[in-house]
Structure 1
């Protein structure tokens, strides 16, 4: 993702008309699926949960959180043995950021850590409880930007509050993470790479070890998500389009050629949900969350800019 400026972005991102749907118009005849959507508003810094089938207005917010630390770049629910359901949050600016964990039931902050670059994602590995934060560099722009890291934190017991730093490894323009329970791998995307890591732990250590057989080339990778309808593949966003990746063969197939897609996922019903920026608008995105079944939901708060939208679920399998 390019270095961003909000100088003209708030106006352009908030007012930009919805882009064309990613699926053919014929798909709009089906009934929309029922699920909840978690969005982060870059402008206000607020994370909000909405019913997919209701207007994304303040009156319809089902759950919300106002984390400190800057732009909410990532927000996803996960299940734990020690703390119940938690919210993972990555928030920051181009020069610094914070990774945090909140308990969903009472919004209590359980853990946080500062990272020395711009955090774009946070993920937790089920089983080990290891948490990984992906941060891109704070210098350069577009394809010229350098740097980026994966920050690894290990738990000392079953509670999130026990997380301590374990490892930091270079990863050019790290943007996205996804724990894969089928393969026991942590997927990471950014810069020119999509790859997977094993997590090796002892009683006093945790580290990522790359599974080089699952490494492929991408073009300025932005996001990696599961396909909830097909657990044999990943869905990735990169500059120039959206692709599916077969996890067995690592073959990449283009699904859509729309540029500037920031998040993309397919619900178990088959419905696709995505967010994206528009040319000459805010580089983070617009105020719209798009669905392929003929619906585009604007987040109706002043100057809202949505970077990523996530389905309300704790994991996939």
Structure 2
């Protein structure tokens, strides 16, 4: 789903964020949208409508991860449109196997796994680069390989050798970039930059390609420093802003929900992140975003001792609850109900 297409089609009002931190949930219009969550009790990707607060009925759509060690603890899922495999869910799991976790593309229509690969470390986030077909993963742990990584994890690109093809299934064929504590990746299609977040830093990368357009590497073009572990990275579907979360509690001065945006200075040919503004002074937030009508939605853990909740929060209304669930992240599924 391309955010720039959504922004052209959606007119929003009253969505401007306050410049300072806040604890009050903002109001929003009552519009039905679809939400996708990763739920670790059943280890499923599940879809619900944001128009209901009782999520105890069967999900409108779901996919169950295989019962193997590399598929334990689903960590991320994003719906993406492809030319050759229709609508897919790109997803990843931390895994508990010595070999690491998993990344995959699951076709929405028949739930077939059209691509998957083992990812050493503990993949926390996944993305697909539109127009190139590459899959990107972010792992917080150091890799169990002999390659040269920054201590603590990094980013990997699984790049098709031909346009329209599937990515390689071997980690050895991936492109590696070190990033300590890497927790989130997002393809910014408006700027054609890959964004990544990890320990103490938000980064923007441009793709390095050969004449045929095949990706051969990443070039870091901008950074934004903060204190702590950057946990999640999402678009604001109601504005051009980028939303990111920083973990921790009062012991970390930079904890909470923040916004920024990536800009390009054509005269200087440089990329920069705008000065960040804290939206909310919240603890232990695992995911946060805004729907096109301005509704904010999030998953936060009740304490530092865990990373999940049975509740997805929404601004302007009561939260949605699924008894016994272990929601880790929530994402925007699509613009309209179908």
The verdict on how the C-alpha distance between 1:114 and 1:271 changes in structure 2, with shifts beyond 3 A counting, is same
Describe the superposition over 1:22-73 as per-residue Cα deviations: whole angstroms up to 9, x where unpaired: 7636x45x54221011011112211100011124535341110012311110
Give yes or no for contact 1:177–1:186 (8 Å, CA) kept in 2.
yes
Give yes or no for contact 1:166–1:206 (8 Å, CA) kept in 2.
no
Shift of 1:115: 1.1
Shift of 1:193: 1.1
Match of 1:210 in 2: 220
The TM-score normalised by the length of structure 1 is 0.82
Give runs of aligned pairs for residues 120-135 of structure 1, distance below 5 A. 120-135=124-139
Q: Distance in 1 between matches of 2:258 and 2:304?
A: 24
Give runs of aligned pairs for residues 1-317 of structure 1, distance below 5 A. 24=24, 27-28=26-27, 31-68=29-66, 69-93=71-95, 96-137=100-141, 146-159=151-164, 161-163=166-168, 165-202=173-210, 203=212, 206-211=216-221, 214-218=222-226, 219-231=228-240, 233-239=241-247, 240-248=255-263, 249-279=273-303, 281=305, 283-300=306-323, 303-313=324-334
Give yes or no for contact 1:23–1:292 (8 Å, CA) kept in 2.
no
Q: Structure 2: which 5+ runs fail to align?
A: 1-21, 144-149, 248-254, 264-272
Q: Distance in 1 between matches of 2:165 and 2:277?
A: 37
Describe the superposition over 1:176-233 as per-residue Cα deviations: whole angstroms up to 9, x where unpaired: 011001111000001111001111223565211111xx201122100111111111x2
Describe the superposition over 1:290-313 as per-residue Cα deviations: whole angstroms up to 9, x where unpaired: 00112211123xx31111000103
What is the total number of aligned residue pairs between the two structures?
280
Shift of 1:156: 2.8
Describe the superposition over 1:126-178 as per-residue Cα deviations: whole angstroms up to 9, x where unpaired: 11122111011169xxxxx9511111111134546343533112110110011
- 1:161 aligns to what SS in structure 2? coil
The verdict on how the C-alpha distance between 1:127 and 1:251 changes in structure 2, with shifts beyond 3 A counting, is same
Give yes or no for contact 1:45–1:71 (8 Å, CA) kept in 2.
yes
Q: Which moved further from structure 2: 100-109 or 165-174? A: 165-174
Match of 1:8 in 2: none
Give yes or no for contact 1:110–1:160 (8 Å, CA) kept in 2.
no
Describe the superposition over 1:84-117 as per-residue Cα deviations: whole angstroms up to 9, x where unpaired: 1111011123552001111111111011111110
Q: Structure 1: which 5+ runs fail to align?
A: 1-21, 140-144
RMSD of aligned Cα (Å): 2.2
Q: Distance in 2 between matches of 1:67 and 1:158?
A: 28
The TM-score normalised by the length of structure 2 is 0.77
Q: Distance in 1 between matches of 2:196 and 2:167?
A: 24
- 2:319 aligns to what SS in structure 1? strand
Give yes or no for contact 2:107–2:113 (8 Å, CA) kept in 1.
yes
